[in-house]
């Protein structure tokens, strides 16, 4: 499924815990703010990648490469030899112009870097109001049942997210 690009319009709720997102076609979605990458501000473009429930490709040649500039810690920890401490160091040393720049991360030796090279990429090294931030990964649990129906999605940690079906492309949503 193609990724969905949404712009953060505003934050709502008593403690601004809900994010109101707007798609290119004007449809809106409301997500818990804690699903968004830390530090997300209004006006930022977010990328939501959607996968069918049975799509659990690992990072690497058979799946997509992990972008070391945007991947959340959880995705970095899926790389061979990368635990929580090293994943945090990778995040802290951003941005990277290329995968070779990972050599400056303390604790990542040359052999480890060679193992990561085919599994990692260094996409956009900048992040600003109009640049996409780390993708939000959602798995389709139940597609929309016709126009106006909701799509039930799940986060990687199992939390449920409901979006209007008209917002999503293809067979998951009713938006065509």
Rounded to a whole number of angstroms, the distance between the first and last alpha carbons of the chain is: 12
pLDDT at 46: 81
pLDDT at 63: 53
Q: H or E segment at 52? A: strand 45-52
- In angstroms, the Cα distances linking 20 to 44, 146, 169 are 12, 23, 19
Q: Which of 42, 57, 39, 79 is nearest to 1 (CA)?
A: 57
Domains of the chain listed by start with CATH number: 4-56+129-172 (no CATH), 66-121 (1.10.150.320)
Q: Specify the higher pLDDT residue, 173 or 89.
A: 89
Contact criterion met (CB below 8 Å) for 131 and 124: yes
Long-range contacts of 11-14 (CB under 8 A, 24+ apart): 11/42
The pLDDT of 74-92, averaged and rounded, is 90
Which residues touch 93 (CB under 8 Å, ≥6 apart)?
Answer: 102, 104, 105
pLDDT tens per residue across span 93-143: 888 888 889 999 999 998 888 888 888 888 754 443 334 455 677 778 877
The pLDDT of 25-50, averaged and rounded, is 81
pLDDT at 131: 41
Contact criterion met (CB below 8 Å) for 76 and 62: no
pLDDT at 82: 92
**Torsion 122-127-130-133 (CA) sign:** positive
pLDDT at 49: 74
pLDDT at 1: 60
Q: At residue 81, does pLDDT exceed 60?
A: yes
Q: How much is the pTM? A: 0.50
pLDDT at 94: 85
pLDDT at 57: 44
């Amino acid at each position: 499924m193609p990724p969905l690009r949404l712009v953060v319009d505003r934050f709502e709720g008593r403690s601004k815990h809900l994010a109101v997102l707007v798609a290119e076609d004007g449809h809106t979605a409301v997500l818990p703010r804690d699903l968004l990458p830390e530090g997300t501000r209004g006006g930022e473009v977010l990328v939501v990648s959607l996968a069918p429930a049975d799509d659990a490709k690992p990072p690497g040649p058979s799946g997509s490469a992990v972008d070391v500039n945007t991947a959340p810690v959880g995705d970095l920890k899926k790389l061979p030899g990368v635990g929580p401490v090293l994943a945090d160091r990778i995040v802290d040393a951003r941005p990277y112009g290329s995968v070779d720049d990972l050599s400056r991360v303390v604790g990542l030796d040359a052999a480890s870097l060679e193992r990561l090279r085919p599994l990692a990429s260094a996409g956009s090294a900048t992040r600003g109001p109009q640049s996409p931030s780390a993708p939000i990964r959602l798995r389709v649990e139940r597609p929309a049942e016709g126009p106006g129906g909701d799509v039930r999605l799940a986060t990687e940690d199992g939390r449920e997210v409901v979006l209007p079906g008209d917002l999503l492309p293809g067979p998951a949503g009713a938006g065509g």
